[in-house]
């Protein structure tokens, strides 16, 4: 079960305060192929990891753009997955690459949500925080496996937390994106990378 913590303050009192602090875990099967966070897209304006699972390539679970768009995704635990459903990672990718505000995008997703397996989606425009209301995401839990996967850091034989991400956005629009990623499906080996940029005015 992926976890996202975030705090935002559109008008921090202190000059040294952060407008946004986001910390996230991505829990996933260790064998699922993915790329570490890096810049991509037109003019390298998007920073995210990328899913490389066959048929789901190019989707992502968390990303931010130099234009101030941020999106994050977690999946619902559900008894049965629809194998014909569209890849949920495209929800984040589409928002980061589309020329549409977060509220309009979330309204569009609320109409098309049935095309995907269950998910929670956060979409934000960091140059107009606070973000418009995030629609009710419901509460569906699969009780038999909830306790196994509902931890801040999940460790199971073939599944668990593969990535930890922290995003900081200060009052000047300076973004620090730090990611800690598991290497070679080995829970004892990790790599840390940091990317920094300033949101375009």
pLDDT of residue 157: 77
* Strand order across the 46-51 sheet: 34-40, 46-51, 62-65, 69-75, 119-125
pLDDT of residue 78: 78
Measured CA to CA in angstroms, residue 199 lies from 151, 156, 169 at distances of 33, 38, 9
Other CB atoms closer than 10 Å to residue 134's CB: what's the count? 14
pLDDT, tens digit, 9 for 90 and up, residues 148-194: 555 556 777 788 888 889 989 988 889 999 999 999 888 888 999 99
pLDDT of residue 154: 73
Distance CA 80, CA 16 (A): 47
Task: State the chain's mean pLDDT as an integer.
Answer: 84
- By residue count, the chain amounts to 201
Element (H, E) at 19: strand 18-29
pLDDT of residue 132: 40
Confidence of residue 112 (pLDDT cuts 50, 70, 90): very high
For residue 1, the cross-strand partners are none
Distance CA 84, CA 116 (A): 9
Give percent above pLDDT 70 in the chain.
85
pLDDT, tens digit, 9 for 90 and up, residues 41-88: 888 999 999 999 998 899 999 999 999 999 999 988 778 888 889 999
Q: Please give the average per-residue pLDDT across 114-143, as a whole number.
A: 65
Q: Does pLDDT of 92 surpass 70? A: yes
Q: What is the pTM of this model?
A: 0.71
Q: Does pLDDT of 140 surpass 60? A: no
């Amino acid at each position: 079960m992926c976890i996202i913590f975030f705090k935002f303050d559109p008008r921090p009192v202190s000059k040294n305060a952060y407008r946004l602090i986001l910390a996230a875990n991505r829990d996933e099967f260790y064998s699922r192929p993915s790329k570490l966070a890096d810049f991509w897209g037109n003019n390298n304006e998007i920073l995210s990891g990328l899913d490389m699972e066959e048929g789901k390539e190019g989707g992502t679970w968390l990303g931010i753009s130099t234009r101030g768009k941020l999106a994050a995704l977690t999946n619902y635990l559900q008894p049965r997955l629809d194998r014909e459903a569209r890849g949920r990672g495209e929800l984040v990718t589409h928002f980061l690459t589309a020329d549409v505000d977060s509220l309009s995008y979330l309204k569009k997703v609320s109409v098309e949500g049935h095309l995907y397996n269950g998910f929670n989606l956060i979409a934000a425009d960091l140059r107009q925080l606070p973000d418009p209301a995030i629609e009710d995401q419901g509460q569906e839990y699969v009780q038999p496996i909830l306790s196994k996967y509902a931890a801040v850091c999940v460790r199971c034989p073939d599944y668990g937390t593969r990535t930890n991400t922290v995003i900081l956005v200060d009052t000047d629009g300076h973004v620090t994106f730090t990611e800690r990623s598991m290497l070679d499906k080995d829970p004892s080996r990790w790599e840390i990378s940091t990317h920094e940029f300033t949101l375009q005015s």
